[in-house]
């Protein structure tokens, strides 16, 4: 059988067509590999929210060679809503302790910034959750990221297919951004930790309450695009009282008695997931983040402080995420 | 009566472009605070209001919608409803307002589409709601939420008739009202969206509840409305933030409930004129002038 010129043309066209359709699926969706060679994580024991936190955190931070002298530090806690008796938000005492530590490290300025995802009345969340009083006592400025000035920002990854987002000036102009998540399970993404905490920088005034566009574009995909675009320089995760079950709002408080510090958000999230009893490799955004944002495997993480031991009873998850358990 | 220092501060915050920014320190004009500000300022600030109206008209997108802030993309946002309310009595802006209301009629929550309706009926049942009852999204290409639906219903209810291509307006408003009733929290009041998520009843928010109640002030016979008013009456006296308290006062005024004590509480908040959030400052002014505010917001008592 001989190939005619027509066969060859049709074959070539089919090949080119097939390649152009399938190539995007095989190309990486990130534009830069931002992984450090090694990452450092410290797991600190803290059994309650009290004045001792400042000392615990200060000693933990000294393990890292953080240089924030003359820099603008932005602390980004997880402040979503307020329900009495719940463990939704990063505790304000931990935020204040972090601010004290960065001031001691001679930061030029330290501000607390967040855009609550569910509540439009940011001041109500601040006052009910104890933030207003704590921040006022320490003369710490709070910036409502839902209403901050916005800058059109090209995304540095293409998981969602969005080309750009409008993001707050305060975050984009920060020299040192600290993600301060509450360690929680999440009924749509399995867990919400340092990376997912970045949803709070997406402004409600532009994208609504909640930031529904991120749900429609894919939660994991949005986490990856955001973390690729806005660098998290440090993580201080609040796991003293964490949340399990139907998080991020209606779960049950879970005593974990840990604070996790890290110089890499992926390493922080992988470590927190292990502390919760999950396999980080089964959490989509941590697994994919480990390809370009940071390190998730223990071999690339220098672990200081307490060792990560499996819990006798792992965190409870909603049925869709029991697949995350590390056993 | 609005304390003069509050209205003076609101006037002082107007940007050279005629708009107002969301936060006092910002120079980026945003549509939501601008709408509340022009609604709040009385006749003593005619020049200021006129510059505000002019800013609003010039900020309109080519498709008739309004953006969230000056310089935003042109795909439109929920503030289109607010601008239509703010421009209601301004004769020169009638064409712009009608164009905006036409855009609003073409905008709908994503669950209004048959494909997503099917998805929410069959595959995605964690969020309990009836997708046949849909309203308006914050921004195109997302589902309906309580606040944008309430404002759209308020804006469209101000149309004097269904002529000029608005024959669908009443049915859209009715459907939006049904959506609000469907998404209420089990004990009354509203959260941002659904009342039940993953089998758990979510807690109502005072401001979302108050805004929904403004849109439902002609549905006082609905048990959901009564339960929500009761929730808000229990909650409002203990509110620790002026934004929510101001909205609660406006809702009570629209429903003929007493507001004197709450207005007194609002005035006791320290440093009201130093509020960083301009929308809150303007809303406080509106709430303290509640007799006129309901009319300004388009509520028929």
pLDDT value of residue A4 = 76
Residue ranges of A 27-86 with Cβ closer than 8 A to chain B: 81, 83
Mean pLDDT of all residues belonging to chain B: 92
pLDDT at A24 over 60: no
Distance of CA B195 to the CA centre of its chain: 19
Question: What's the pLDDT band for B128 if we cut at 50, 70, 90?
Answer: low
Q: Is A37 helix (H, G, I), strand (E, B) or coil?
A: coil
Q: B116: nearest CA in chain A? A: A216
Give the model confidence (pLDDT) of B196-205 as tens digits.
888 888 999 9
User: Residue B57's pLDDT is what?
Assistant: 97
CATH number of the domain bearing residue B39 = 1.50.10.20
| Chain A contact for B21 (CB, 8 A cutoff) | yes
Burial class (CB in 10 A: 0-12, 13-18, 19+), B250: buried
Contacts of B277 in chain A (CB under 8 A): 122-123, 144, 147
Please report which confidence band the pLDDT of residue A324 belongs to, taking 50, 70 and 90 as the band edges: confident
Q: Average of pLDDT values for B244-256?
A: 96
Higher pLDDT, A318 or B228: B228
Torsion of CA B144, B148, B152, B154, to 10 degrees: 130
For residues A105-118, give the mean pLDDT: 97
Quick check: B206 and A187 CB within 8 A?
no
More confident residue, B88 or B127: B88
Q: Which span out of A317-321, B117-121, B125-129, B190-194 was modeled with the highest average pLDDT?
A: B190-194
A62-94 confidence digits (pLDDT tens): 999 899 999 999 999 999 999 888 999 999 999
Would you state the pLDDT for residue A301? Answer: 97
Asked if A258 contacts A44 with a C-beta cutoff of 8 angstroms, the reply is yes
Compare all CA atoms of chain A with the CA of B148 and give the residue at the minimum distance: A208
Predicted TM-score of the model (pTM): 0.93
pLDDT in tens, A131-185: 999 999 999 999 999 999 999 999 999 999 999 999 999 999 999 999 999 999 9
pLDDT at A25 (0 to 100): 58
State phi, psi for B211 to the nearest 5 degrees: -70, -40
Q: First vs last Cα of chain A: how many Å apart?
A: 57
Q: B69 contacts in A (CB within 8 Å)? A: 150, 205-206
For chain A, the residue count is 327
Q: Are A46 and A240 in contact (CB under 8 A)?
A: yes
Task: Give B204's DSSP letter.
Answer: P
Both tokens of B71, joined, read 């310089």
Whether B231 and chain A come into contact, CB under 8 Å, resolves to no
A241-263 mean pLDDT: 95
- pLDDT-derived band at B146 (thresholds 50, 70, 90) equals very high
Give yes or no for B148 touching A (CB within 8 A). Answer: yes
Tell whether B36 is within 8 A of chain A (Cβ): no
Tell whether B189 lies on the interface with A, counting CB pairs under 8 A.
no
The alpha carbon of residue B298 is apart from the nearest alpha carbon of chain A, in Å, by 22
Q: Do the Cβ atoms of B200 and A250 come within 8 Å? A: yes
- Is A151 an interface residue toward B (CB < 8 Å)? no
Query: Which residues partner with B190 through β-bridges?
Result: B205
Residue A252 predicted with pLDDT over 80:
yes
Q: Which residue has the tokens 């807690």?
A: B203
Q: Does residue B259 lie within any of the structural domains?
A: yes
pLDDT in tens, A48-57: 999 999 999 9
SS3 A66: coil
Which of B138, B143, B197 has its CB closest to that of A207? B138
The predicted pLDDT at position A135 comes to 97
**Beta-carbon contacts below 8 Å between A and B:** 109
The reported pLDDT for the residue numbered A10 is 77
User: In this complex, do A147 and B23 lie within 8 Å of one another by their Cβ atoms?
Assistant: yes
Locate all alpha helices (DSSP H) within chain B, ordered by sequence. Answer: 4-12, 31-40, 46-58, 79-86, 94-106, 114-122, 146-156, 169-182, 206-215, 223-235, 242-254, 260-267, 278-288, 290-296
Residue-by-residue DSSP string for B277-299: BHHHHHHHHHHHTHHHHHHHTT-
A207–B contact, CB cutoff 8 A: yes
Place of tokens 């998080």: A247
The pLDDT of residue A18 is: 66
A112/A76 Cα distance (integer angstroms): 6
Percent of chain A at pLDDT exceeding 70: 96
The band of B183, judged by pLDDT with boundaries at 50, 70 and 90, is very high
Q: Which fold has domain A31-324?
A: Rossmann fold (3.40.50)
Mean pLDDT of A223-248: 97
Rounded Cα–Cα distance for residues A199 and A223 (Å): 7
C-beta atoms of A120 and B208 within 8 A: yes
Selecting from A122, A208, A216 the residue whose C-beta is nearest the C-beta of B145 gives: A208
User: Which candidate in B70, B78, B200, B201 is best for mutational testing of the A interface (most A CBs within 10 A)?
Assistant: B200
A205:B22 CB<8 A: yes
pLDDT per residue as tens digits for the range A257-313: 999 999 999 999 999 999 999 999 999 999 999 999 999 999 999 998 888 877 778
- Asked whether the beta carbons of residue B192 and residue A210 sit closer than 8 angstroms, the reply is yes
Altogether, the residues listed in chain B come to a count of 301
Cβ within 8 Å, pair A121-B32: no
Q: What is the ipTM of this complex?
A: 0.94
Best residue in B15, B143, B199, B276 for a mutation probing chain A (most A CBs within 10 Å): B276
Contacts (Cβ under 8 Å, ≥6 apart) of A36: A263, A264, A294, A295
Domain count, chain B: 1
Residue B301 lies in a domain: no
- Which chain A residues touch B30 with a CB distance below 8 Å? 147, 205
pLDDT higher than 90, residue A103: yes
Percent of chain B at pLDDT > 90 equals 74
Does the beta carbon of B54 lie under 8 angstroms from any beta carbon of chain A? no
Which residue among A144, A187, A213 places its CB closest to the CB of B277? A144
State the residue range of the domain holding B264: 4-296
Tell me, what's the pLDDT at A22? 59
What are the start-end ranges of the E strands in chain A?
39-45, 72-77, 109-114, 141-144, 150-154, 164-168, 176-180, 182-186, 190-192, 234-244, 252-262, 301-305
Residue B9 located in a structural domain: yes
Q: Is the pLDDT of residue B15 over 90?
A: yes
More confident residue, B52 or B160: B52
Per-residue model confidence (pLDDT) at position A222: 97
What is chain A's mean pLDDT, rounded? Answer: 93
| Other residues' Cβ atoms within 10 Å of the Cβ of residue B123 | 7
Mean pLDDT of B268-297: 91
Query: Per-residue pLDDT averaged across B184-207, rounded?
Result: 92
Q: What is the DSSP string of A160-198?
A: S---EEEEEHHHHT-SEEEEE-EEEEETTTEEE-TTGGG
């Amino acid at each position: 059988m001989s190939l005619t010129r027509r066969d060859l043309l049709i074959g070539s066209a089919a090949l080119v067509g097939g390649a152009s359709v399938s190539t995007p699926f095989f190309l990486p969706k990130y534009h830069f590999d931002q992984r450090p060679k090694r990452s450092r994580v410290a797991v600190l024991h803290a059994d309650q929210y009290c004045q001792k936190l400042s000392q615990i955190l200060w000693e933990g931070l000294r393990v890292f060679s953080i240089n924030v002298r003359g820099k603008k530090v932005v602390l980004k806690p997880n402040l979503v809503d307020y329900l009495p008796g719940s463990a939704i938000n990063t505790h304000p005492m931990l935020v204040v302790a972090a601010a004290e530590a960065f001031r001691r490290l001679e930061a030029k300025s330290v501000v607390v910034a967040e855009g609550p995802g569910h509540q439009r009345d940011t001041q109500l969340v601040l006052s009910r959750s104890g933030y207003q009083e704590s921040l006022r006592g320490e003369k710490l400025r709070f910036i409502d990221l839902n209403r901050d000035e916005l800058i059109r920002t090209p995304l540095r990854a293409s998981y969602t297919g969005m080309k750009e987002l409008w993001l707050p000036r305060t975050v984009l102009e920060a020299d040192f951004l600290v993600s301060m998540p509450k360690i929680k399970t999440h009924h749509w993404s399995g867990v919400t930790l340092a990376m997912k905490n970045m949803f709070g920088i997406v402004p409600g005034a532009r994208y609504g309450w909640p930031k529904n566009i991120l749900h429609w574009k894919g939660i994991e995909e949005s986490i990856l695009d955001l973390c690729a675009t806005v660098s998290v320089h440090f993580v201080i995760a609040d796991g003293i009282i964490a949340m399990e079950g139907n998080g991020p709002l209606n779960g049950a408080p879970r005593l974990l008695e840990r604070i996790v510090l890290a110089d890499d958000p992926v390493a922080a999230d992988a470590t927190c997931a292990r502390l919760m009893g999950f396999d980080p490799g089964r959490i989509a955004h941590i697994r994919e983040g480990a390809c370009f944002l940071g390190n998730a495997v223990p071999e690339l993480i220098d672990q200081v402080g307490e060792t990560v031991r499996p819990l006798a009873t792992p965190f409870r998850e909603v049925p869709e995420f029991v697949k995350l358990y590390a056993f | 009566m609005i304390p003069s220092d509050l209205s003076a501060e609101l006037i002082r915050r107007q940007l050279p472009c005629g708009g107002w920014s969301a936060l006092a320190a910002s120079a980026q004009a945003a549509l939501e605070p601008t709408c509340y500000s022009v609604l709040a300022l009385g006749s003593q600030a005619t020049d200021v209001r006129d510059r505000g109206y002019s800013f609003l008209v010039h900020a309109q997108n080519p498709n008739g919608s309004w953006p969230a802030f000056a310089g935003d993309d042109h795909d439109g946002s929920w503030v289109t409803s607010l601008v239509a309310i703010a421009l209601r009595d301004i004769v020169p802006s009638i064409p712009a307002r009608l164009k905006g209301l036409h855009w609003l009629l073409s905008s709908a929550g994503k669950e209004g589409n048959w494909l997503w309706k099917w998805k929410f009926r069959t595959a995605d049942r964690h969020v309990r709601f009836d997708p046949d009852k849909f309203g308006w999204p914050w921004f195109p290409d997302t589902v309906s939420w309580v606040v944008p639906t309430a404002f759209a219903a308020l804006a469209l209810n101000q149309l004097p008739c269904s002529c000029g291509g608005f024959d669908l307006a009443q049915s859209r408003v009715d459907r939006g009202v049904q959506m609000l009733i469907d998404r209420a929290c089990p004990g009354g009041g509203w959260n941002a969206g659904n009342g039940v998520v993953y089998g758990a009843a979510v807690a109502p928010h005072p401001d979302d509840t108050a805004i929904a109640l403004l849109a439902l002030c002609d549905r006082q016979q609905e048990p959901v409305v009564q339960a929500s008013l009761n929730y808000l009456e229990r909650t409002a006296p203990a509110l620790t933030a002026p934004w929510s308290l101001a909205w609660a006062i406006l809702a009570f005024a629209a429903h003929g409930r007493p507001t004197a004590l709450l207005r007194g509480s609002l005035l006791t908040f320290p440093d009201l004129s130093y509020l960083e959030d301009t929308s809150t400052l303007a809303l406080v002014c509106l709430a303290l002038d509640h007799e006129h505010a309901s009319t300004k917001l388009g509520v028929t008592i």
